[in-house]
């Protein structure tokens, strides 16, 4: 009896163990299914292919890829799938910012505003941008997928130019080919050239890049040359605009010099574009599939009818109590353009308005002819990612359709950089990058910034700012663009303890409203006068002692991106 009872206990224990194991295996299997399939259903899908919206859509994600897409009831939903109901929302492909500039604090901004991929058309060093890419892929850094140019290929700059920036100086065709091969070996995605690369070196770089399957883009003064060489894209309105000015390359360079030395402002430069030459440029670009990123928000958003809406949205992000990890200069950067426009004379403002109309004219003609236009933030004077949404709105204000604007921030960018097989639309087989918004962008394109959910690589991302979050690999130069290297001051001597004294600081070009003047490391009250001049007030207490004082211009919190010092002599009173 005891032996039978003992055997019964063993048998019961064995059965319970098997059952427990079965339940455990089943639970793990269910977890695997849930991890494998994610279903987004109930929303209105705009897939960016140009098809009409699909209401009550179902998108089945299998891991990092889109498995199937269709209307509810027409798509099989795998058993055990995790289902996310987005009824009342609009489902879009993840946005691809067509002209990103990456800095350490920007990752959260991109996610918050629905940008899942950042083509980093940048001055960043290769090693830093690759570290950001790899850290993001590993989940160690919050931010979007990164396709990067790394440092540019640079031609020898003329004597009057600002410092060339980070990159590879290429003076011969062979140097250019070697630089392109090195970037390919490092795993960079795009090649970027600046405007000082000579034609024969430019052709060699483009030839090598195309041979290796890497798209090429540029700061160009001759778009005809870029099209002939097989470039994938050109950047900024002034690339196509400067090309229109004259067939004489000397005259083009003179106008470029006037812009770079702030004799002609970036915004008013377009006033000098020759509209009668637009169609020839457009034909050359369209024939060779050369895409274009006009980056108009960074220069013209103050002239948009939506300027106040743009400003309010910027402030709503800056005032978010969770967004303390953003750069301390971002508020100044986001308002810099408005402040700069306030310094324009009525005549200069008229030139800027006329110039913007010419840029809009080129955009309309370009898109009508079948040109590939990219929306890009280029946040030199604004906010990363948000400037891209502003540009979408400005595209529609300029005469593009909302669908054309949406494609400019999705499939057009993927196509430009030869990634459209995997990115840019919501279709079976493509990478599962999805942005879900509130509102109908085909009625009001501005709702694209009203982001409610982001899926990157098949994973739902937390798009809220994380208090205390800091990028573990900070930028060497946290703000953008560079502070001018060389400055002059007047007066150069102030007697001990005198004042207060207004110090004038001048440069060739490059001051922005958020930059500040410091004296021996102590920040002074600074007034922005123009891109070539700042004023700083020196109180008597700051020069109590006689000596030699250093004057430096930098953005608050900058340690690397600073001007060289100018020296103030303080003699005995």
Q: What is the pLDDT of residues 397-409, one digit of tens each?
A: 999 999 999 999 9
The 10s digit of each residue's pLDDT in 50-66 is 999 999 999 999 999 99
Domain with CATH 2.60.40.10 in the chain: 488-570
Q: Is 340 helix (H, G, I), strand (E, B) or coil?
A: helix
Spacing of C-alpha 390 from chain mean position: 12
CATH architecture of 488-570: Sandwich (2.60)
Beta carbons of 498 and 511 less than 8 angstroms apart: no
Domain with CATH 3.20.20.140 in the chain: 94-221+231-239+278-419
Beta carbons of 454 and 92 less than 8 angstroms apart: no
Beta carbons of 253 and 239 less than 8 angstroms apart: no
Angle CA(341)–CA(346)–CA(351) in degrees, nearest 5?
75
Lowest mean pLDDT among 273-287, 427-441, 525-539: 525-539
Q: Is 474 helix (H, G, I), strand (E, B) or coil?
A: coil
Beta carbons of 145 and 117 less than 8 angstroms apart: yes
Beta carbons of 133 and 157 less than 8 angstroms apart: no
Q: pLDDT value at position 477?
A: 63
Domain with CATH 2.30.40 in the chain: 2-87
Q: pLDDT value at position 158?
A: 79
The 10s digit of each residue's pLDDT in 188-221 is 999 999 999 999 999 999 999 999 999 999 988 9
- Which class does domain 94-221+231-239+278-419 fall in? alpha beta
Beta carbons of 156 and 194 less than 8 angstroms apart: no
| Average pLDDT, integer, range 279-299 | 97
Separation of alpha carbons 304 and 394, rounded Å = 7
CATH of range 2-87; options 3.10.20, 3.90.105, 2.30.40, 1.10.357: 2.30.40
Beta carbons of 385 and 97 less than 8 angstroms apart: yes
**What distance, in Å, lies between the first and last C-alpha atoms of the chain?**
114
The 10s digit of each residue's pLDDT in 446-470 is 999 999 999 999 999 999 999 889 9
Helix (H) or strand (E) holding 70: strand 65-71
Q: How many CA atoms lie within 13 A of 167 on its CB side?
A: 28
The secondary structure of 176-233 as a DSSP string is HHHHHHHHHHHT---EEE-TTS-HHHHHHHHHHHHHHT--EEE--S-HHHHHHHT-SE
């Amino acid at each position: 009896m005891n032996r039978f009872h003992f055997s019964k206990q063993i048998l019961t224990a064995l059965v319970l163990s098997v059952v427990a194991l079965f339940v455990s295996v089943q639970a793990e299997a269910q977890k695997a299914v849930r991890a494998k399939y994610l279903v987004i259903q109930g929303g209105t899908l705009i897939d960016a292919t140009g098809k009409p919206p699909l209401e009550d859509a179902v998108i089945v994600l299998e891991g990092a890829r889109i498995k199937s897409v269709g209307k509810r009831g027409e798509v099989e939903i795998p058993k055990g799938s995790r289902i996310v109901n987005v009824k009342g929302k609009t489902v879009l492909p993840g946005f691809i910012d067509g002209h990103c500039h990456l800095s350490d604090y920007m990752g959260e901004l991109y996610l918050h505003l629905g940008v899942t991929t950042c083509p980093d058309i940048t001055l960043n060093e290769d090693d830093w941008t690759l570290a950001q890419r790899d850290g993001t892929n590993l989940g160690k850094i919050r931010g979007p997928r990164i396709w990067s140019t790394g440092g540019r290929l640079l031609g020898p700059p003329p004597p009057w130019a600002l410092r060339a920036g980070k990159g590879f100086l290429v003076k011969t065709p062979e140097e250019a080919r070697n630089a392109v091969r090195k970037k390919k070996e490092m795993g960079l995605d795009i090649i970027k050239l600046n405007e000082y690369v000579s034609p024969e070196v430019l052709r060699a770089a483009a030839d090598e890049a195309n041979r290796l399957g890497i798209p090429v883009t540029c700061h160009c003064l001759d778009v005809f040359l870029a099209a002939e060489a097989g470039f994938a894209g050109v950047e900024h309105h002034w690339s196509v605009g400067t090309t229109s000015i004259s067939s004489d390359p000397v005259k083009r360079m003179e106008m470029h010099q006037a812009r770079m030395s702030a004799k002609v402002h970036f915004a008013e430069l377009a006033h000098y574009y020759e509209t009668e030459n637009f169609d020839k440029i457009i034909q050359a670009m369209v024939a060779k599939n050369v895409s274009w990123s006009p980056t108009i928000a960074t220069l013209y958003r103050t002239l948009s009818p939506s300027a106040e809406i743009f400003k309010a949205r910027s402030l709503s992000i800056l005032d978010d109590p969770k967004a303390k990890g953003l750069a301390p200069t971002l508020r100044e950067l986001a308002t810099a353009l408005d402040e700069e426009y306030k310094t324009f004379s009525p005549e200069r403002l008229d030139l800027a308005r006329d110039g913007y109309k010419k840029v809009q004219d080129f955009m309309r003609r370009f898109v009508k002819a079948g040109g590939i236009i990219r929306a890009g933030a280029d946040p030199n004077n604004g906010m990363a990612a948000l400037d891209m949404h502003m540009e979408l709105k400005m595209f529609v204000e300029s005469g593009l359709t909302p669908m054309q604007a949406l494609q400019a921030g999705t499939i057009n960018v993927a196509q430009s950089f030869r990634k459209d097989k995997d990115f840019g639309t919501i279709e079976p087989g493509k990478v599962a990058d999805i942005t879900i918004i509130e509102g109908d962008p085909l009625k009001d394109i501005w709702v694209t910034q009203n982001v409610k959910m982001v899926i990157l690589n098949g994973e739902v991302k937390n798009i809220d700012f994380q208090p205390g979050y800091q990028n573990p690999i900070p930028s060497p130069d946290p703000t953008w663009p560079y502070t001018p290297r060389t400055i002059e001051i007047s007066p150069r001597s102030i007697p001990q303890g005198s004042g207060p004294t207004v110090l004038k600081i001048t440069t060739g070009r490059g001051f922005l409203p958020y930059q500040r003047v410091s004296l021996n490391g102590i920040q002074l009250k600074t007034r922005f006068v123009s891109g070539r001049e700042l004023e700083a007030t020196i109180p008597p207490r700051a020069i109590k002692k006689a000596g030699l004082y250093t004057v430096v211009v930098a953005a608050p919190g900058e340690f690397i991106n600073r001007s060289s010092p100018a020296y103030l002599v303080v003699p005995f009173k």
